Structure 1
């Protein structure tokens, strides 16, 4: 079995499937044959901060490109949503204890701290990502 790499598509192709690609006219014109060692190296997990790319037409590890402004905002909005959900899951049983007049002084204090944290999270403006001053997670 042999493998091919397309620098344009940044993808590997198996020679045994070439006829299927040919039938759909989808075999990349720039595909070059690569060794099994190269194939195994570049289908594995990349080193931290790297992704597979093309270096002078060959597969290679390249720096992860920086996120776009839109991607930063989306990532921050997702993080905010997760943090709010996590805080709410902690607040709910504490609030139940207070509502049922079963809360200890420690639980009441903890409830206030977590509610304040959730309010501060709700006020985070994700449009300024990645420059966000996230509130400190309660301990």
Structure 2
């Protein structure tokens, strides 16, 4: 197996012809160790000599952090809505138990809290995520 720092990938000479000009031979054992180590959240990157090594991924950019926070909020809103819908149905049809009425109010408050999370100053560095109802 060969590794190309420029291409940031592995190449098998039986399949890839020609190999990248910067390709460095990597033993099967080293290649397997890199692939197994990669499954722990590490990434394969070239060292100063172009040899593949496992490194921690770079921290997310501020924009990526914002995208991840908004995605989390949207997912939590979807989950909250899935709890609200059947409870609201029971209330609408007059078939809700007192416990279901209370649960509906709690899930709606939670959903409101999620929607009211500030998305301006400090977002998303200092998010205090609301706690979902039990």
Q: TM-score, normalised by structure 1?
A: 0.85
1:12 shift after superposition:
0.6
Q: 1:31 to 1:84 in 2, by over 3 A?
A: same
Q: TM-score, normalised by structure 2?
A: 0.88
Q: Deviations over 1:90-117 (max 9, x none)?
A: 1000000001111111101110000000
Unaligned runs of 5+ in 2: none
Partner of 1:85: 78
Partner of 1:8: 6
Moved over 3 A (4+): none
Answer yes or no: is 1:116 the counterpart of 2:116. no
1:47 shift after superposition:
5.8
The separation in 2 between residues aligned to 1:70 and 1:12, in whole angstroms, is 30
Answer yes or no: is 1:44 the counterpart of 2:39. no
Task: Kindly indicate whether structure 1 or structure 2 has the higher relative contact order, using CA contacts under 8 Å at least 6 residues apart.
Answer: 1
Higher helix fraction: Structure 1 or Structure 2? Answer: 1
Answer yes or no: is 1:133 the counterpart of 2:98. no
| SS of equivalent residue, structure 2 residue 44 | strand
Check whether the contact 1:53–1:62 (CA below 8 A) recurs between aligned residues: yes
- Of 86-95 and 53-62, deviating more is 53-62
